Structure 1
Amino acid sequence: MGKTGIAIYDCDEHEAQLFRTFAAQYGVEPTFIASAASAESAALASGHRAVSVNHKTEITHATLRALKAYGVAYICTRSVGCDHIDLEAAEKLGIAIGNVAYSPASVADYTLMLMLMAIRHARSVLRRADIHHYRLCAVPGRELRDMTVGIVGTGRIGQAVIDRLRGFGCRILAYDICPRAEAEYVTLGELLRQSDIVSLHMPLRADTHHLLDAKRIRGMKRGAIVINTARGPLIDTPALVQALEEGRLGGAALDVIEGEEGIFYRDCTDRPIRHPLLLRLQALPNVIISPHTAFYTEHALRDIVEATIRNCLAFERAKGELVT
């Protein structure tokens, strides 16, 4: 009996090497496709029932229809979220969709880093040091133990952030429609009114799109800092920019942003950025932007690759035991 084949779209060489290592352990045959999954590249997956895609690429109805025509029956996204996949179309076409879980420590650690950078004005300090300007900042930083931190979403990552925050001695508030952590749960409105830092860890769904809308942003504590390492569309970006420019909010640290597609994960040093809100955010000294990189650790990548292979094998063996 031949090895199970998996077509893997758009992964870098480091990720590809992990696939080769785990493929040898699990007895599967990876086929690497350099391009992103699309209707045009679907033919490259011909002969494979299972394919792997990343979270960077929108998997549209047209893409799904083309993959189906070439025999694809299962798509495993190398991410927790599936908001980039047209799930309704996949169901109608009879294509099963799987996702993966990975070390929550990767995003949790990064979230804490962003919090600390934001309250200690790290962006300004480092930029000034780069030009040999070594005076102290005009405004001193703050300490987490003196602050209230609100965690919106207490799944695996939200809980990992809470665990880390306990060591800093700050007050922690939490909001989730399904409370599951040992934390002080309050309504979302109360969390926003009381928190000096608001950190988002909700999945992106229809009911969480623009969870932080203009009204809720107006209801936030004056001078509060927003942290987002989840999904960009959780925030109404124009409303956030306005609140920051007007000085109602004290800052933001964003690893994700609405409209990041086509910008993040690309070298844009020699091309114009056609995202006015991103440019306005980056012009503010109290805003930190990073390119959707919170998940990107060795440990998390190993988790992602191994879970992808195990999911594809489970589908091929018709066990339905998807590793999520």
Structure 2
Amino acid sequence: MSSSGPTRAAVFRTRASAPFSRAVPTTGITVYGCEQDEALLFREMAPRFGVTPTITEEAVSEADIGLAAGNRCISVGHKTRVTRATLTALSRAGVKYLSTRSVGCDHIDVSGAESVGISVGNVEYSPDSVADYTLMMMLMAVRHAKATLRRTDTHDYRLSGIRGKELRDLTVGVVGTGRIGTAVIDRLRGFGCRVLAYDNRTESSADRLSLDDLLRHSDVVTLHTPLTAETRHLLDRRRIERLKRGAFLVNTGRGPLIDTEALLPALESGRLGGAALDVLDGEEGIFYTDCRNKPIDNHSLLRLQELPNVFISPHTAYYTDHALRDTVRNSIINCLDFESGNT
């Protein structure tokens, strides 16, 4: 994770030792915001692709433009916003392509990139990582896992108030049926529950409904749609009020899909059964950092964490061995495809 202090993080330059199988010339890529596990994979994979990576833990910023000198392609993480000012500086340094190591591009000023002649590409990784995690969160929510674990941690082994539900008895609404949403639907089949879907795609094995109808009929709603200007606060106060009484909400997509300030009273009043949130509006600067000894400037997060029916994890659904290898490999391939004119 990038640091905000003045100390420069370590920068590693790894020379390619083996030619890429397609016999492309050696290519330089600057990898920003690269943590240790990613750096190990870049060092392992880059030589196989004929790539010379410059690797830094620092997030891309105007102060780090010099690290991109001589490289037309850079790779960035999803944890830091890439502003128009930074993109302008990158363009002046000769950068023409930015590959984000994420499915979403909402942390990048894409229109700003286009205006300065930088193309932006995302990556695909194993949808199973997020789909598996989504099912885990869903089960934890309907079985009141947080409240149960809190009790047992204090040696309170009573069962009152923690009777759970079985997925086969519930209707699950899946909002967004791309690769991850479809993988979630595939897993839900094994539980025998009814599955509803909302998306603008034409193919889905689930029953398709309008979003408002899906919210009215679902016992569990799980979000897998991309974050865009149209989907920001997709679940606003009006739509949260349409959720069934006692329903559970799961979000492993993007935090701003939900209006947190509208969600809180529905949870605090008990009108909703609970929520399992791997992402949160305003998570930037909090998730991926050690906040044990500093104040957290997100009152919504603090209120949510106090609730026994809300489970929160720090944007980690994607974080598996398989998905991380996919991410690094595909970020390298994106850059090579750009250099060879295949994008």
Q: Same fold (TM over 0.5)?
A: yes
1:279 — aligned with what?
Answer: 302
C-alpha displacement of 1:131:
2.0
1:244 has 2:267 as partner: yes
Runs of 4+, deviation exceeding 2 Å: none
The aligned residue for residue 82 of structure 2 is: 59
Residue in 1 that maps onto 2:21:
none
Shift of 1:126: 1.3
Which residue matches 2:336? 313
Size of the alignment, in residue pairs?
Answer: 320
| 1:186-205 alignment, distance < 5 Å | 186-205=209-228
CA 1:14/1:137 → structure 2, altered by over 3 Å: closer, same or farther?
Answer: farther
User: Are residue 179 (structure 1) and residue 179 (structure 2) matched?
Assistant: no
Residue in structure 2 matched with residue 104 of structure 1 by the alignment? 127
Give the one of 66, 80, 85 matched to 1:43. Answer: 66
Letter in 2 for 1:116: L
1:28-39 residue pairs with structure 2 within 5 A? Answer: 28-39=51-62
1:299 aligns with 2:322: yes
Give the structure 1 partner of residue 15 of structure 2.
none
Distance 2:311 2:153 in 1: 16
Q: Does the Cα contact within 8 Å between 2:61 and 2:82 map onto a contact in 1?
A: yes
- DSSP 3-state at the match of 1:65: helix
Q: Tell me the distance in 1 between the aligned counterparts of 2:268 and 2:64.
A: 43
The residue aligned with 1:232 is 255
Q: Tell me the distance in 1 between the aligned counterparts of 2:236 and 2:323.
A: 31
Question: Is residue 155–residue 180 contact of structure 1 (8 Å, CA) maintained in 2?
Answer: no
Percent identity of paired positions between Structure 1 and Structure 2: 62
Give the partner amino acid of 1:94. G
Q: Residue 268 of structure 1: which of 284, 291, 295 is its match?
A: 291
The TM-score normalised by the length of structure 1 is 0.97
Structure 1 CA distance for aligned equivalents of residues 37 and 133 of structure 2: 21
Contact 1:149 1:198 survives alignment (8 Å): yes
Give the deviation of 1:136 after TM superposition: 1.8
| CA–CA separation in structure 2 for the residues paired with 1:132 and 1:248 | 29
Secondary structure of 2:120's counterpart equals strand
Give the gaps of 5 or more residues in structure 1: none
Report the secondary structure of 1:51's partner residue.
strand
In 2: Cα distance, 1:77 partner to 1:109 partner = 23
Rounded to whole Å, the distance in 2 between the matches of 1:2 and 1:161 is 41
Name whichever of 129-138 and 238-247 sits farther off: 129-138
Q: How far did 1:2 drift?
A: 6.0
Pick the aligned partner of 1:25 from 32, 38, 48. Answer: 48
- Give the equivalent residue in structure 2 for 1:86: 109
SS at match of 1:293: coil
Aligned residue for 1:76, secondary structure, equals strand
Task: Give the 3-state SS of the residue equivalent to 1:40 in structure 2.
Answer: helix
Letter in 2 for 1:170: C
- Tell me, which stretches of 5 or more residues in structure 2 are unaligned? 1-23
Deviation at 1:274, TM superposition (A): 0.7
Give, as a single letter, the amino acid of the residue that structure 2 aligns with 1:77. Answer: T
